[in-house]
Amino acid sequence: MPRPALTLLSRDEVEELHSKALSLLEKVGVFFEDKGVERLLTQNGLELRNGRVLFTESCIKEALSKAPKRIPLYDREGRPVSVLGEGRTVFNPGSAAIKILDFGASEPRNPTLKDLRDLVILVDALKGFKAQSTALVPSEVPNEVKDAERLYVVLKYSAKPIVTGAFTVENLPLMVEMLKAVREDYRTRPFAIFDVCPTPPLNWSRVTSRNLVDLARLGVPAEIISMPGLGGTSPVTVYGALVQHHAEVLSGIALSQIVSPGAPVIYGGSPTLIHPYYGTAVITSPESVLVTLAYRDLARHFSLPVHGYLGLSDSKAVDYQAGAEAAYTAVLAAVAGFDVASGPGMLEFESVQSLEKLVLDNEVCMLADRIARGFSPDAEVVEVIREVVLEKRGNFLAHKHTRSRYREELHLPKVWDVASRGKEAKQSLLHWAHEEVLRTLREHAPPILDGDRLARLNSVRKVLWERVGQRPPDV
């Protein structure tokens, strides 16, 4: 079947980049803030020099050979959604936004638990998103429980799989207990992915390294998100940032496989350009996107599932810039075959979510998916054309071939204005998206968790809130 394909690096270029990353790991090494994790690595044969762990080529080679090449992904009910590693993109909203932009507002505000619940219900209804994320950080929730409280809301109000993450060492095991409360076989049929991020350049914080160790031990998929900032926290060149990015991800893969050989890991990233004038972290810059596309080739070379922050925007409003940036990065994600693409709904350097942009990005993701799907050969076509030209006066519209095939062949956007110009003035896409948000929240009935599973989940949540001496709020 003809499908668009996008490859940036040749095999020789991949091997050269990999060799340079190995050289970094062997000569410069990686700093681990957590001394327990550092000790775990040295006890497994790695050298500690000047406070940095040196990874050997043989260690990396062995880790890459043990990391799973395919990770099946299920929903909350145990139904298969995708197989990560096969290049069929699972779009999900960008995660952990600390602000939300209301319709008609020029400045974003702090989000609440209700905002998170509304976002989860909206995403549950939007077909372009095969997964949820813990997309908002509710401001009224104590810092000590924010991470797990977000997961509770998603588990309660949607059956879609989840991309999430922990902000603390202590809460990650409890968040996995939440998964277990919902479905005992969360290890064999995973329905949640946890992000863990090294700190550039070549550091792992206490929280993220301990999270990665715990995820490997508990058998939960970990997405290793390296975040080089070109010109700030990494070399300013695309090539240099790519070498550093690859080394950081390899160090995470090695750690996970030392802890538990065969632990599910996803090669991810969120590279940015540190703007030379404003100091902002621009994720949709051409250079950031080139790093992302190139590390996809590195991941594929080692047959690893791959993730990217794509389908998002750095704009501060839902405007032309937002649409352009979301569209070109979403299409690249689908055509390049990223397994997981996080970002829709996001604005302003991964810090703001917009419900209206989620509705518009949903259409963008479905268009991207249609382009990536390609097309099939049509065995009937010569006979159909002959019949229409010679017997139907050249009109394909009423032919049975058109009637039988157009639904499966054509994607008809719900959002774009492609109708003939009428007498009545049409409202803007942003107004249409806002009305769609209101209609969906009014009419969509999410599959709310109930019965014994909700009771077990509530029990875990109660333990969470006891850590801050409070009762869980209604949500």
CA distance 403 to 330: 30
The per-residue pLDDT for range 440-471, each reduced to its tens digit, is 999 999 999 999 999 999 999 999 999 999 99
The per-residue pLDDT for range 62-96, each reduced to its tens digit, is 999 999 999 999 999 999 999 999 999 999 999 99
Q: Please tell me the predicted confidence (pLDDT) of residue 284.
A: 98
Task: Band the pLDDT of 417: cuts 50, 70, 90.
Answer: confident
Q: Please tell me the predicted confidence (pLDDT) of residue 423.
A: 64
The per-residue pLDDT for range 26-46, each reduced to its tens digit, is 999 999 999 999 999 999 999
CA distance 97 to 328: 22
Q: Please tell me the predicted confidence (pLDDT) of residue 36.
A: 98
Cross-strand pairs, 224: 196, 267
Instruction: Report the SS3 class of residue 459.
Output: helix
Q: How far is CA 25 from CA 22, 53, 58, 245, 446, in A?
A: 5, 8, 12, 11, 47
Q: Sign of the C-alpha dihedral, residues 166, 272, 72, 9?
A: negative
Q: Please tell me the predicted confidence (pLDDT) of residue 427.
A: 83
Instruction: Report the SS3 class of residue 305.
Output: coil
Kindly state the tokens that stand for 8: 């940036």
Q: What are the counts of helices (DSSP H) followed by strands (DSSP E) for the chain?
A: 15, 20
Q: Please tell me the predicted confidence (pLDDT) of residue 367.
A: 97
Q: Are 164 and 133 in contact (CB under 8 A)?
A: yes
The per-residue pLDDT for range 266-316, each reduced to its tens digit, is 999 999 999 999 999 999 999 999 999 999 999 999 999 999 999 999 999
Q: Please tell me the predicted confidence (pLDDT) of residue 292.
A: 98
CA distance 263 to 257: 6
The C-alpha torsion from 11 through 15 and 20 to 22, rounded to 10°, is 140
pLDDT mean over 8-12: 97
